[in-house]
């Protein structure tokens, strides 16, 4: 059992991961500034787990605030989710993205170092593979062709963490490269609840299914894929959460840096997901083909061998379960959390 600080723990992936951590006996301390999450998520985490969670409403850019958290708690390891994450917005606001994501991580590392906490699991992304690598993506591939500032913040933070480990071999770091997390907790109490217009496919489909939006905009149907729409590696958020549990256990017992993909190793197109959701909700959903989005690629899916070898982890759920759980969540929470 360990004390785990979870930055961004009230967010989509963070909240599901906190539930898994608590279920496995770890103590959880959450820090979040609610910039893209809601306080209600904390209540839901407690309701599902039946356990109390310590919470600080602090921005990771606030070094004094972070130091206070480390002063007041014995923290064994950190899972670092906190960051701005909308690809399109990052193109519009590069300075804000670089400042928030990179400076925030530097503040966190400073606070960790000052309190001799040298174990971190970082929430990275498949976007680090950029446009030049062939699928499936393998962890050894170069990561210098991200297509947007959000992707580059992940590339740079991975590099910073590698440099930290070189400077001090006591550090233990896992860089988790997520593919496309969707779905919800089985209870329907937790799920993806973005502020404003969703940037991701799945919450958009959910809002169409519940009648909040007229149709799904599909960006491009002329890609070199079976049905012309972009193919992604969709992973159930609970599979992703269990991957974090494995990564925490790993950093608690190993030194050095490892980059690890978390995906299913299979690709589904935008229309595949739409049709699977139609099956889950029992009705046809309207969609319109729109122009391609800048920075989008045709194919993106993982080679998942390393996660299996290093952690003994593999995804359990398929696209049908992701959609069934996502439909359950939006029915129970039509206006989100």
Other Cβ atoms closer than 10 A to 288: 9
Residue 298 in contact with residue 224, Cβ under 8 Å? yes
* pLDDT single digits (tens) 17-29: 999 999 999 999 9
Question: Does the annotation count 150 as an active-site position?
Answer: yes
282 contact partners, CB below 8 Å, separation of at least 6: none
Q: Give pLDDT tens digits for 71-126.
A: 999 999 999 999 999 888 999 999 999 999 999 999 999 999 999 999 999 999 99
Q: Could you tell me the residue range of the domain that residue 89 belongs to?
A: 3-183+234-263+304-315
Please identify which of the residues 150, 223, 234, 287 carries the catalytic annotation.
Answer: 150
Q: Please check whether residue 244 is in contact with residue 14, taking contact to mean a CB–CB distance below 8 angstroms.
A: no
Please indicate, yes or no, if residue 13 is contained in any of the structural domains: yes
pLDDT of res. 210: 96
Which is more confidently placed, 323 or 196? 323
pLDDT at 234: 98
Task: Report if residue 211 sits inside a domain.
Answer: no
Q: What is the pLDDT of residue 215?
A: 97
Could you tell me how many residues make up the chain?
337
Is 294 buried (19+), middle (13-18) or exposed (0-12) by CB count in 10 A? exposed
- Residue 326 domain-assigned (yes or no): no
Tell me how far apart the alpha carbons of residues 172 and 112 are, in angstroms, rounded to a whole number: 12
144 assigned to some structural domain: yes
Q: How far apart are CA 213 and CA 205, in angstroms?
A: 9
- Under the phi-then-psi rule, with left for phi > 0, alpha for psi from -120 to 50, and beta for the rest, what region is 124? beta
Q: What is the pLDDT of residues 269-322, one digit of tens each?
A: 999 999 999 999 999 999 999 999 877 889 999 999 999 999 999 999 999 999
Residue 7 counted as domain residue: yes
Q: How many domains does the chain have?
A: 1
**Does 146 reside within a domain?**
yes
In the predicted model, what is the mean pLDDT of residues 138-158? 95
DSSP bridge pairs for 169: none
Beta bridge partners of 56: 31
Residue 127 pLDDT grade (very low, low, confident, very high; cuts 50, 70, 90): very high
CATH number of the structural domain spanning residue 52: 3.40.50.720
């Amino acid at each position: 059992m360990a004390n785990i600080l979870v930055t961004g723990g009230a967010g989509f992936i963070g909240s599901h991961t906190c539930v898994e951590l608590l279920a496995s006996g770890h103590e959880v301390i959450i820090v979040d500034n609610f910039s893209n999450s809601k306080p209600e998520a904390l209540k839901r985490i407690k309701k599902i787990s039946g356990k109390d969670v310590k919470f600080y409403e602090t921005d990771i850019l606030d070094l004094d605030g972070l130091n206070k958290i480390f002063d007041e708690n014995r923290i064994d390891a950190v899972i670092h989710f906190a960051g701005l994450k909308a690809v399109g917005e990052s193109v519009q606001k590069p300075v804000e993205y670089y400042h928030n994501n990179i400076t925030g991580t530097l503040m966190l590392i400073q606070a960790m170092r000052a309190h001799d906490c040298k174990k971190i699991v970082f929430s990275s992304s498949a976007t680090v593979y950029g446009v030049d690598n062939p699928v499936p993506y393998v962890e050894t591939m170069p990561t210098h062709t991200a297509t947007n500032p959000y992707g580059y913040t992940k590339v740079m933070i991975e590099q910073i963490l590698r440099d930290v480990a070189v400077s001090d071999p006591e550090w233990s770091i896992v860089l988790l490269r997520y593919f496309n997390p969707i779905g919800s907790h089985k209870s329907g109490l937790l799920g993806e609840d973005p502020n404003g217009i969703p940037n991701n496919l799945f919450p958009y489909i959910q809002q169409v299914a519940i009648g909040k939006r007229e149709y799904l905009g599909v960006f491009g149907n002329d890609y070199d894929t079976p049905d012309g729409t972009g193919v992604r590696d969709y992973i159930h958020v609970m599979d992703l959460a269990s991957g974090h549990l494995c990564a925490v256990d790993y950093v608690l017992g190993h030194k050095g840096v490892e980059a690890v993909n978390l995906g299913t190793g299979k690709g589904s197109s935008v229309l595949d997901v739409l049709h699977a959701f139609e099956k889950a909700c029992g009705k046809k959903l309207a969609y319109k083909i729109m122009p391609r989005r800048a920075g989008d690629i045709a194919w993106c899916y993982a080679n998942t061998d390393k996660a299996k070898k290093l952690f003994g982890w593999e995804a359990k759920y398929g696209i049908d379960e992701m959609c069934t759980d996502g439909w359950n969540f939006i029915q129970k929470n039509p206006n989100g959390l």
